[in-house]
Chains A and B, each alone.
Chain A
Amino acid sequence: MTAVRRWQLAFIAVGVLVIGLGGLVLLLDVNPARYLGIALWFAGALVLHDAVLAPIVLGVHLLLRRVGRRVPLSVVLILQAALVVAALVTALVLPEILKQGIGSANPTILPLDYAGNLIRFQAGLALVTAAAIAVVLARGRREHVERPRRDDPDGG
């Protein structure tokens, strides 16, 4: 047996033991009446990611690329990055905004203006994105003028 193979077996054996420990804790500390809820959350997480979120990302990606064939790749990439950051932050802040609407146990929980801050954040992100695109376009135009027939294998 090779050294790598031995390490593989060791990782897998330890992993199975630790999963078992988690199962034991679940058995000892959590009321069995709650197991169904945990199982539903597991299944829900997989379905939400694999069958909803990921296909949406693919759809937006293909759409951007189709539109993007008329603009430089770097612009598409910047736009894509900005969309991802905007979506990520929104996903994280949305539960805070919703819970704030429902109300908290005391006023020191969720004390900030989350909806207002989200709008301010997205506005700032839009500005930064626009600036980055402007810089990239300006640089591209300059290079185009200086070296009109440059053969760049990376596209640039």
Chain B
Amino acid sequence: MTPREAVAAIERGMSAYRARLASPTRTPRMAVVLGRLLGVAFLVCFGTGLYSHFLQDPLPWMVFPTRPTQLYQWTQGLHITAGILCFPLLLGKLHVVYPQLFQTPAVRSLPHLLERASIALLVASSLVQIVIGFINTVQWYQLFPFPFRQTHYALSFVVIGSLAVHIGVKLPVILRHWRSRPREETTASGATGRLHRWMDGSPTATRRAFLGTVAAGSAAVVLTTGGQSFAPLQPLNLFAPRDPRIGPQGLPINRTAEDAGVVQLARSAGWTLSIVDGDRRTVLDADALRDLEQVTVDLPIACVEGWSRMATWSGVRVRDLLDLVGAAPDVAVRAVSLETKGAYGVSEIGPEFVRDPLTLVALRLNGEVLDIDHGYPARIISPARPGVLQTKWLSRLEVIA
């Protein structure tokens, strides 16, 4: 067999396979219907993901809203839940367009090659993106041989960029099928039409059933996992990686005092909190902190992994503590933990959060002294920020020059 004959044989095989795949659900209109939904879900994930990223790694000019206090709880809950929703939507979309994989000739021209390459990039990066995102929330990091956060961030641009290329390439098809055209939705003619009729008495029923299946799958995964992020869904929480009510003092945790290696230091009677602004410094022990004006606030703890829960915190306002060293009103602050080895032993608090009356050095949680796993003797709690920045086992607040 010459190479030319081999290629011809492969193409005949692909054509035959593609013919088997013909189905009334695999129409351009269906690709547009699901593509729109998936595109919205991707953009929601991208937007909320960037928001979470820049809260943690802000560019110098960035200022973030501190109200509503549940803002981050909502954006990150949306990020994770929309990410889970992408599983049924993406699989449905791929189901619709799967026969295109076997088009013959496989490559017609250079633009066609680039188009197919961009689709391969879009499909691969989307699948990897949602799978590692989900696996990260169950904390099974050993499954992928690359760092999660940096890879997920880089891939978000690859996904959205290749999506834009895909929309550009397919724009005429998208515009043509943006609205349904009942006449064109009827069964195809010729051999394909006979195959359709053999497989399905009713293309319309099959299409409706397909959309119903995607909707049922979407509802199933969202309703059974959304409870970790959205309290009204809590009664249906069968499968989320977290139950926001389970944990010390009724709140989950990510890093225990033991993991952080701070148990001894945190329990030590000699624990103090230093407030430092240049060469001015005040050192407060636990009694001195308790003697300052105590404020009680309701703020959610909201993890980057999507779970969150409202709680009642009591402690001293960070801005009151800064007044003790006469700090300027518009400063940023570095919160330093007793934990020295982890990446989150230090966090920076922007001026908008520092001067917010709800930003506390919290000593109590839900009416009790903080559990050691929640940061005893003192932790940061502030509105509309991710939990990783709410530094636990606080030892020092430094004004950043």
Interface segment out of the listed B3-11, B163-171, B262-270, B313-321: B163-171
Alpha-carbon gap, A41 to B168, bound state (A): 26
Q: Once the chains bind, are B157 and A156 in contact (CB under 8 Å)?
A: no
Check A148 for interface membership: any CB of B closer than 8 A: no
Q: Once the chains bind, are A10 and B157 in contact (CB under 8 Å)?
A: no
Q: Once the chains bind, are A41 and B241 in contact (CB under 8 Å)?
A: no
Alpha-carbon gap, A90 to B157, bound state (A): 30
Alpha-carbon gap, A9 to B167, bound state (A): 10
Interface string of B18-39 (1 = CB under 8 A from A): 0011010000000000000000
B130: nearest chain-A partner, CB-CB = A45
Alpha-carbon gap, A98 to B142, bound state (A): 13
What are 12 A-B pairs with beta-carbon distances under 8 A? A9-B168, A12-B168, A14-B161, A14-B164, A34-B147, A45-B128, A61-B23, A62-B20, A84-B213, A105-B255, A109-B242, A121-B239
Interface string of A52-68 (1 = CB under 8 A from B): 00100110011001000
Q: Once the chains bind, are B239 and A93 in contact (CB under 8 Å)?
A: yes
Q: Once the chains bind, are A46 and B205 in contact (CB under 8 Å)?
A: no
CB within 8 Å for A99 and B164 given contacts A25-B157, A117-B238:
no
Residue numbers in B under 8 Å from A37 (CB-CB): 144-146
Candidates A7, A80, A102; contact of B171 at CB < 8 Å: A7
Residue of A93, A112, A117 with most chain B CB atoms under a 10 A cut-off? A112
| Min C-beta distance of B295 to chain A, whole Å | 27
B241: nearest chain-A partner, CB-CB = A110
Chain A contact-residue range equals 35 or more
Check B292 for interface membership: any CB of A closer than 8 A: no
| Min C-beta distance of B165 to chain A, whole Å | 3
B258: nearest chain-A partner, CB-CB = A106
Tally A-B pairs: CB < 8 A: 226
| Min C-beta distance of B278 to chain A, whole Å | 33
Q: Once the chains bind, are B95 and A81 in contact (CB under 8 Å)?
A: no
Alpha-carbon gap, A114 to B224, bound state (A): 11
Q: Once the chains bind, are A155 and B241 in contact (CB under 8 Å)?
A: no
Alpha-carbon gap, A46 to B138, bound state (A): 23
B175: nearest chain-A partner, CB-CB = A4
Residue numbers in B under 8 Å from A84 (CB-CB): 213, 216-217
Residue numbers in B under 8 Å from A46 (CB-CB): 120, 123-124, 127
CB within 8 Å for A22 and B158 given contacts A73-B200, A85-B216:
yes
Residue numbers in A under 8 Å from B106 (CB-CB): none
Q: Once the chains bind, are A112 and B237 in contact (CB under 8 Å)?
A: yes
In chain A, residues 7-47, which have Cβ atoms closer than 8 Å to a Cβ of chain B? Answer: 7-12, 14-23, 25-26, 29-31, 34, 37-38, 40-43, 45-46
B interface: dominant SS: helix
CB within 8 Å for A41 and B91 given contacts A22-B156, A34-B146:
no
Residue numbers in A under 8 Å from B221 (CB-CB): 88-89, 92
Check B61 for interface membership: any CB of A closer than 8 A: no
Q: Once the chains bind, are A81 and B216 in contact (CB under 8 Å)?
A: yes
Candidates B124, B138, B160, B171; contact of A4 at CB < 8 Å: B171
Which B residues are within 8 Å of any A CB, using their own CB?
20-21, 23, 84, 87-88, 91, 94-95, 98, 101, 118, 120-121, 123-125, 127-128, 131-132, 134-135, 138-140, 144-147, 150-151, 153-158, 160-169, 171-172, 175, 199-202, 204-206, 209, 212-213, 216-217, 220-221, 224-225, 237-243, 246-248, 252-256, 259, 373
Alpha-carbon gap, A91 to B154, bound state (A): 26
Alpha-carbon gap, A149 to B24, bound state (A): 26
Interface contacts beyond A22-B161, A106-B259, A155-B201: sample of 8 additional A-B pairs, CB < 8 Å, sorted by A: A12-B169, A15-B166, A22-B158, A31-B147, A77-B205, A105-B139, A109-B242, A110-B241
Residue numbers in A under 8 Å from B247 (CB-CB): 108
Q: Once the chains bind, are B165 and A19 in contact (CB under 8 Å)?
A: yes
Alpha-carbon gap, A154 to B206, bound state (A): 10
Residue numbers in A under 8 Å from B259 (CB-CB): 105-106
CB within 8 Å for A114 and B239 given contacts A95-B140, A109-B139:
yes
Q: Once the chains bind, are A18 and B164 in contact (CB under 8 Å)?
A: yes
CB within 8 Å for A73 and B202 given contacts A9-B168, A89-B220:
yes
Q: Once the chains bind, are B165 and A96 in contact (CB under 8 Å)?
A: no
Alpha-carbon gap, A99 to B139, bound state (A): 8
In chain A, residues 97-150, which have Cβ atoms closer than 8 Å to a Cβ of chain B? Answer: 98-99, 102, 104-112, 114, 117-118, 120-121
